[in-house]
Amino acid sequence: MRRSTAFALILLVAGCAPRPQASTAPTPPAVVSQTGEPTSLTGLTAQELVGRFGTPALQIREGASLKLQFRGPRCVMDAYLYPSGGSAALKVTHVDTRTPTGGDFDQAACIFALRNRPI
């Protein structure tokens, strides 16, 4: 009987606890690297990516889209380019970053590491 009374008391107290509220914090601005340049690659063309990161380690065309992969000792970055608007120009719409073994890697840190690696 004591156990059930103690359990009921715990449930009663837990039921009175306030619920966590959803964060109403504003969306943070775009991340800026240490060089003061935005780390977002969205909207860049393949030529602009090559200008920033050198020759890609892998290029895959699938239909009208293009995937460019850049590799460094610390991370791998895949940039996905699709036709933009009414033009045929391919532009980056999505970027994935990971460690060489497939683990999570911060996108801004990977972009910084790939830009500053010896070519």
User: Is the residue at 96 inside a domain?
Assistant: no
User: Is the residue at 83 inside a domain?
Assistant: yes
pLDDT at 50: 95
pLDDT greater at residue 16 or residue 92? 92
pLDDT at 85: 77
User: Is the residue at 58 inside a domain?
Assistant: yes
- pTM of the predicted model, to two decimals? 0.65
User: Is the residue at 25 inside a domain?
Assistant: no
Q: Which domain holds residue 63?
A: 39-88
Q: How many domains does the chain have?
A: 1
Is the predicted pLDDT of residue 6 greater than 70, yes or no? no
What's the average model confidence in pLDDT over 19-24? 50
Which residue matches tokens 């895959």?
60
The string of pLDDT tens digits covering residues 22-72 is 444 443 444 444 444 445 899 999 999 999 999 999 999 999 999 999 999
Assigned token pair, 72: 């460094």
pLDDT at 29: 42
pLDDT at 60: 96
User: Is the residue at 109 inside a domain?
Assistant: no
CA angle 35, 36, 40 (to 5 degrees): 105
CB contact at 8 A, 76 and 70 = yes
CB contact at 8 A, 64 and 42 = no
User: Is the residue at 7 inside a domain?
Assistant: no
User: Is the residue at 3 inside a domain?
Assistant: no
pLDDT greater at residue 74 or residue 37? 74
